[in-house]
Structure 1
């Protein structure tokens, strides 16, 4: 019987690897569902009348987003027999704020979700550093192999970046239309994140662990 429902420590031999591209697709997929459902909410409601019960396009998108997050976590569990920590936290917040959005028919709650998630991630990463834990290794260990100092620096930078995204989401949803916010959530946040990741390449190179030589005697 498994002792751990949550994913194992980054360097644990019991940790089951997942294809990085699949992991990325599982994390990005629910966002794409949310964007598509918001932009095609009326057509979806016509094709599936039961969706009318949820409300307008944003509420339909919220319901489908929650379903997509549940599917994403289920696939992760089916493959690795564990739940990834950060998507699990995000999914829990989506469940709470999505339910409030649909129940009260108030779009404010789903708009606040990215603020809460990013602020929570930032606080968790920075809080982990305060206790000597570089938690970012749980997210990126399958893509990068860094020394302890590299993970510490990356965790600090990502913690601050998540707090920046939280503030940015507040600025956008409070000052722009719902459609503009949805477009920014999918097509704005991702490019900003990619640019940030590109700026971390020098750090990754400096702190990358050298691959082990399997057969030192081979020429």
Structure 2
């Protein structure tokens, strides 16, 4: 198995967040346009979605080449983007791409919920090596994050079904990620007492 490689954190952030920002900027440029491709008329949103897929794949390939690894979340998200981006283009229906966000957040909530029903934290399995924390802390964080993903999935359904595409793109690009990041940062502060200091036993 190849060893993990160090990468400049700024480059890593650009590769992780860049495709989403690129989609937002492309959408702003194309949102009022229509395109005739292979005899079918496509909105600017759908063309922006089609352009987003290869941009994301290039960024993921660059991350893989620079770091020597990809997280399960990155692989799963990439699969969902490609799959629902393809459905969006095939059926010429932007609803598929909008539903993708609901299914991604919903899948995370379900996976964490399955772990909780088994008395385990799948978060600890994924992040335990980089974030030492006692099992009690992992279980608390998993329960809270499971609820957060559920709320985000429901929120996305409400947003894309009731608001304009413009608002959905803005909330999808900035609102949901900022809300999730803020929630996670708040939890780590609240769970500081469960952190394991270097050299300290888990118990």
For the aligned pair, the TM-score class normalised by the smaller chain equals 0.7 to 0.9
Distance change >3 Å, CA 76–CA 135, structure 1 → 2: farther
Tell me which residue corresponds to 1:190.
Answer: 177
Of residues 112, 116, 121, the one that matches 1:125 is: 112
How far the C-alpha of 1:155 sits from its partner, in A, is: 1.8
Give the aligned partner of residue 21 of structure 2. 32
C-alpha contact (below 8 Å) 2:31/2:45 kept by paired residues: no
* Cα gap change, 1:52 to 1:24, in 2 (>3 Å): farther
Distance 1:98 1:138, change over 3 A: farther
Q: Name structure 2 gaps, 5 residues minimum.
A: none
Does the aligned pair in 1 maintain the 2:112–2:123 contact within 8 Å? yes
| CA shift digits 1:27-77 (9 cap, x unpaired) | 32221121111111269x8xxxxx863832211221122112212321232
Root-mean-square deviation (CA), in Å? 3.0
Q: What's the offset of the Cα at 1:98?
A: 0.4
- Separation of aligned partners in 2, 1:128 and 1:19: 33
How many correspondences in the alignment?
197
Shift of 1:141: 4.8
Is 2:142 the counterpart of 1:162? no
Q: 1:107 aligns with which of 87, 94, 99?
A: 94
Partner in structure 2 of residue 90 of structure 1: 77
User: What's the secondary structure of 2:122's corresponding residue?
Assistant: coil
Report the secondary structure of 2:93's partner residue.
Answer: coil
Pick closer, same or farther for the CA change 1:30–1:204 going to 2, 3 Å.
farther
1:40–1:174 Cα change, 3 Å: same
Q: Contact 2:15 / 2:59 at 8 angstroms: preserved in 1?
A: yes
**Counterparts in 2 of 1:24 and 1:138: CA distance versus 1, 3 Å:** farther
* Counterpart contact for 2:81–2:100, Cα < 8 Å: yes
Quick check: 1:118–1:165 contact (8 Å CA) kept in 2?
yes
TM-score under structure 2 length normalisation: 0.82
Moved more, 117-126 or 129-138: 129-138
Structure 1 residues 19, 161: CA separation in 2 closer, same or farther (over 3 Å shift)?
farther
C-alpha displacement at 1:171, in angstroms? 0.3
- Structure 1 residues not aligned, in runs of 5+: 5-13, 46-50, 214-219
